[in-house]
Amino acid sequence: MSDLARLHDPIVAIATAPGRGAVGIVRASGRDLRPLIDALIGAPLKPRHAHYGPLRAADGSAIDHGLALHFPAPHSYTGEDVLELQAHGGPVVLQLLLARCLEAGASIGLRVAEPGEFTQRAFLNDKLDLAQAEAVADLIDASTEAAARSASRSLGGAFSHEVDALAERIVRLRMLVEATLDFPEEEIDFLEKADARGQLSAIASAVQRVLGQARQGALLREGLRVVLAGQPNVGKSSLLNALAGAELAIVTPIAGTTRDRVSETIQIQGVPLHITDTAGLRDDAAASDEVERIGMARSWESIASADAVVFLHDLTRLDEPAYQAADAQISERLRQVDPARLLQVYNKADRTDGSARDGLLLSAKTGAGLDALRQALLERAGWQAAPEGVFIARTRHVQALRRCAEHLALATEHAAQADAQLDLFAEELRLAHQALQQITGRFSADDLLGEIFSRFCIGK
């Protein structure tokens, strides 16, 4: 059976999380669910009203007593007929209900839903655009209050409205440009009379504004990967514990206590920070054993993929020649790291006067300087205090907006030439418009849709 044909199958799934709970939901969606309603309820259901009663097995006995709600098409989440059965949240009860639905729905081809298939149908039936559909998963996965609020705004259409408004402005300009292509002798006059350059400049500025908001939204969703790096026993584990507010990593005076990566996610101003404490860095020849060498290799792997690297120094050992040499070796290797991602931090300020040092001073033991470090990490990420208008966004949204901005920049170059060629101008506007449409799904490859919805949970 082709994937296209499967999209018309009626589907069913347990829509609540695995495990025990007070209430569990089994949800079905399809073009006509009357056979399912007749088999489990035994009577018609008034649309969008909760009906309490027995949810029946094949022999007429009650599997459970609960609520049944029928949402006829098109006034439902998926745009199809939807039936929700709300029962007690025991896993056995829900599995029995699911099995009964599949049995009763065999005549209409009812099958178990794939991950994200309910929301995929909502998208395909124009109940949600692609950005809103993604916001459903982002709201479920939100790790901070700010991320949840931003995902809710995107689900409500805030991001989509911004993108649609930009697309509409580009379309209006495209119409003017393409209509003028049939009158080549009027091309230059057109650019002046219609203020095409002015319109284009205003659109480009608006795209940059939305791009800035999308970057903030992507940061709220994905967080910042921070790696704590430095020599053994400089206080990386103590700093991780101080930032997390919990004893996550073992701390001892013995160098090399941390043999592998230890990670924790915290939040600063609603932004998730995925912090990794790595094994102490030193020359391979100085490593005590193979385990330590493997730990250091993993440390460098984490550093290479980090959004921000905190290079931690020990203020109490800065005058030791061996320590200085080892720090110099690490610094040389860290030259491969983008300076914008590297943060020099000096620890153990409570034990010495390090006021003259070029970098952040702190004490993981007392907590002095931690607020300055938190702020510096947010600045490294490009975070600004979250205004109420921030919407959740994904990396693909940011990339699409960047492509749109690039095409608008090329369009500006064509428009600025003395012998402006409107066909090239029009083509760049078309590509900019297409990039925006990829955000909301009005122009999207099938494989992209499959990748997005496969990451949803089953039942959603």
292 pLDDT tier (thresholds 50, 70, 90): low
The whole-number average pLDDT for the span 8-23 is 91
Average pLDDT for 267-286? 76
SS3 (DSSP) at 289: coil
What residues does 29 pair with on adjacent strands?
Answer: 11, 82
Which amino acids are annotated as binding site for (6S)-5-formyl-5,6,7,8-tetrahydrofolate, given as ranges? 27, 84, 127, 460
Question: Does 80 share its domain with 184?
Answer: no
- CA 164 to chain centroid: 21
Give the pLDDT confidence score for residue 2 in this predicted structure.
38
At residue 259 the predicted structure's pLDDT band, cuts being 50, 70 and 90, is very low
Domain annotation covers residue 206: yes
Q: What is the DSSP string of 78-117?
A: SSSEEEEEEEEE-HHHHHHHHHHHHHHTGGGT-EEPPTTH
- Contact yes or no for 23/87 (Cβ under 8 A): yes
39: DSSP letter = H
Pairing relationship of beta strands 262-268 and 271-277 according to DSSP bridges? antiparallel
- Model confidence pLDDT, tens digit, residues 192-217: 777 888 999 999 999 999 998 898 88
pTM: 0.76
- Of 87, 107, 127, the position where a domain reaches its end is 127
Annotated binding site: 27, 84, 127, 233-238, 252-258, 277-280, 347-350, 460
Integer Cα distance of 207 and 374 in angstroms:
30
User: In the structure encoding, which two tokens stand for residue 198, read together?
Assistant: 């002015």
Residue 360 CA to residue 368 CA, distance in Å, equals: 11
- Same domain for 106 and 13, yes or no, is yes
For residue 460, being part of any structural domain is answered with no
The pLDDT tens digits of the residues spanning 126-178 come to: 999 999 999 998 888 888 888 888 889 999 999 999 999 999 999 888 888 87
Domain of 293, CATH number, reads 3.40.50.300
181 and 97, same domain (yes or no): no
Q: Which residues are annotated as a binding site for Mg(2+)?
A: 237, 258
In a domain, 55, yes or no: yes
* Amino acid type, 256: G
- Which of 36, 19, 10 minimizes the C-alpha distance to 93? 19
Which tokens is 411 given? 């369009």
Gyration radius from the chain CA atoms: 29
Domain presence at residue 185: yes
pLDDT of residue 254: 40
How confident is the model at residue 258, as a pLDDT? 45
Residue 458 domain flag: no
pLDDT value of position 386 = 52
Domain end: 79, 110, 127, which one? 127
For residue 185, name the pLDDT band (cuts at 50, 70, 90). low
Q: How many residues does the chain have?
A: 460
Assess whether 140 and 123 both reside in one domain: no
Final residue of a structural domain among 95, 127, 159: 127
Domain that holds residue 187: 135-219+391-453
Q: Could you tell me if residue 97 is inside a domain? A: yes
Residue 258 located in a structural domain: yes
pLDDT of 291 strictly over 80 = no
- Residue 169 sits in a domain whose CATH number is 1.20.120.430
DSSP code for 280: P
Confidence of residue 414 (pLDDT cuts 50, 70, 90): confident
N-to-C CA span, the chain: 23
pLDDT value for 255: 44
> Are 285 and 344 within one domain?
yes
Q: Hey, how many other C-beta atoms are within 10 angstroms of the C-beta on 336?
A: 9
φ, ψ at 17 (rounded to 5°): -65, 150
Please check whether residues 187 and 331 belong to one and the same domain.
Answer: no
Q: State whether 250 and 359 are in the same domain.
A: yes
One domain for residues 242 and 329: yes
- How is residue 343 annotated by DSSP? E
- Mention every residue, 6+ apart, whose C-beta is less than 8 A from residue 335: none
Q: What is the CATH number of the domain that holds 52?
A: 3.30.1360.120
Write down the residue that tokens 């009379």 correspond to.
193
Please report, for the chain, how many H helices and E strands are present, in that order: 16, 12
Domain count of the fold of the chain = 3
Quick one: 74 and 163 in the same domain? no
Which of 8-17, 237-246, 417-426 is the least confident region? Answer: 417-426
As a whole number, mean pLDDT of residues 294-312 equals 82
Both 273 and 319 in a single domain?
yes
Q: Give the rounded distance of the alpha carbon of 262 from its chain centre.
A: 23
| Binding-site residues from annotation for GTP | 233-238, 252-258, 277-280, 347-350
Phi, psi of 26 (to 5 degrees): -110, 130
Binding residues for K(+): 233, 252, 254, 257
Q: Are residues 106 and 76 in the same domain?
A: yes
Q: Count Cβ neighbours within 10 Å for each residue of 250-286 and write b for 16 or more, e otherwise.
A: ebeeeebbbbebbbbebebebbbbbbbbbbbbbeeee
Asked whether residue 213 is assigned to any structural domain, the reply reads yes
Contact between residue 224 and residue 310 where contact means Cβ atoms under 8 Å apart: no
Q: Are residues 99 and 230 in the same domain?
A: no
